[in-house]
């Protein structure tokens, strides 16, 4: 006999494998990025040393020029330099020019290297981000493949009653877990409301689903369902005849209230599960109609369940998420 928790354990193992894959990809990318940044730092240090040496050379040359300007020569003197002196001077000038050119070349090379390393780092960051997104997407697919899904069946279990003030009906809601892991905190939140065939009921469904998320405490019935299981929940609903008549619009007082009853069953099934940090819902919307597809009539009440049924509302927001 297979344990009911087998699928759940498999889900946990797959999620752990996905997390380990994400961690491995991120760790390898970070190590590679650190090595290249260390190389960039070494190149910048060499550039700074060369610039410092150049600055000292320029400073010494300027000091020699300043000292030369301060020497006063009251009597013209003709100075002649020997060949060796001229050669030494030319060699010194050549060395200075060569040093300056070397510094310029190193500066240009360092700038190019820094740009290349910056580009490589940017490309690696983009690749790492793509890999992280891909791993997250794979993890989401694994999670969705093994998550619970709640389907809802509804049956009419009593005659439709009109007592002059309200229209009443009894329903049995049957949620079924058609997914692969347990669903928790299941709550069913239905209402009866006036609605014509082409009324948009999606805003009402969204409001019911949002209210279900905020419901908490011992006064709200919430259940858990294992895969393949279901339960029955009877719920009685009613809508006031005042709301139904107002849905027809303002009519002259000489005209009696219309006999048809335009009503719809609207609701939301809310639930959670262990591997998700948000709520999930299955919304529904059905019109209450006769077997022929027409609207129910006050004059025909009480109407037995065999004479009417539920028809999917055309503009519903029937969605699982």
pLDDT tens track of the chain, all 321 residues? 555 555 656 666 776 766 666 667 667 766 776 777 777 777 778 777 777 776 777 777 777 777 766 654 555 555 555 666 666 676 777 777 777 777 777 777 778 877 777 778 777 777 777 777 766 666 655 666 789 999 999 999 999 999 999 999 999 999 999 999 999 999 999 999 999 988 999 999 999 999 988 876 665 778 899 999 999 999 999 999 999 988 887 656 566 678 899 999 999 999 999 888 889 989 999 999 999 999 999 999 999 999 999 999 987 655 555
**Which residue ranges make up each domain of the chain?**
6-145, 150-312
Q: What is the 3-state secondary structure of the chain? A: CCCCCHHHHHHHHHHHHHHHHHHHHHHHHHHHHHHHHHHHHHHHHHHHHHHHHHHHHHHHHHHHHHHHHHCCCCCCCCCCCCHHHHHHHHHHHHHHHHHHHHHHHHHHHHHHHHHHHHHHHHHHHHHHHHHHHHHHHHHHHHHHHCCCCEEEEEEECCCEEECCCEEEEEEEEEEEECCCCCEEEEEEEEEEEECCCCCCCHHHHHHHHHHHHHCCCCCCCCEEECCCCECCEEEEEEEEHHHHHHHCCCCCCCCCCCCEECEEEEEEEEEECCCCCCCEEEEEEEEEEECCCCEEEHHHCCECHHHEEEEECCCCCCCEC
């Amino acid at each position: 006999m297979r344990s009911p928790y087998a699928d759940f354990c498999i889900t946990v193992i797959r999620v752990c494998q996905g997390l380990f894959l994400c961690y491995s990809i991120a760790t390898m990318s970070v190590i590679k990025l650190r090595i290249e940044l260390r190389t960039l730092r070494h190149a910048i240090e060499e550039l700074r040393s060369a610039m410092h040496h150049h600055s000292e050379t320029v400073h010494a040359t300027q000091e020699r020029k300043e000292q030369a300007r301060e020497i006063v020569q009251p009597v013209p003197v003709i100075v002649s330099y020997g060949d060796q002196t001229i050669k030494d001077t030319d060699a010194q000038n050549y060395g200075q020019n060569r040093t300056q050119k070397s510094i310029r070349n190193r500066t240009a090379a360092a700038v190019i290297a820094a740009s290349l390393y910056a580009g490589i780092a940017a490309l690696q960051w983009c690749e790492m981000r793509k890999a992280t997104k891909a791993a997250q997407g794979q993890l989401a697919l694994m999670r969705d493949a093994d998550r619970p899904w709640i389907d809802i069946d509804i049956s009419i279990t009593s005659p439709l009653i009109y007592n002059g003030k309200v229209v009443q009906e009894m329903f049995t809601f049957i949620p079924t877990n058609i997914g692969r892991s347990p669903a928790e905190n299941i709550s069913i939140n239905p209402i009866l409301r006036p609605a014509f065939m082409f009324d948009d009921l999606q805003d009402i469904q969204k409001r019911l689903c949002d209210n279900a998320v905020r419901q908490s405490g011992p006064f709200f019935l919430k259940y858990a369902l294992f895969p393949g299981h279901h339960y029955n929940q009877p719920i009685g609903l009613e809508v006031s005849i005042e709301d139904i008549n107002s849905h027809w619009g303002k009519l002259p007082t000489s005209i009696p209230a219309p006999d048809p009853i335009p009503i719809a069953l609207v609701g939301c099934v809310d639930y959670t599960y262990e591997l998700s940090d948000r709520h999930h819902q299955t919304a529904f919307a059905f019109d209450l109609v006769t077997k022929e597809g027409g609207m129910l009539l006050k004059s025909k009440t009480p109407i037995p369940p065999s004479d009417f049924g539920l028809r999917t509302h055309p503009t519903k927001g029937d969605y699982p998420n």
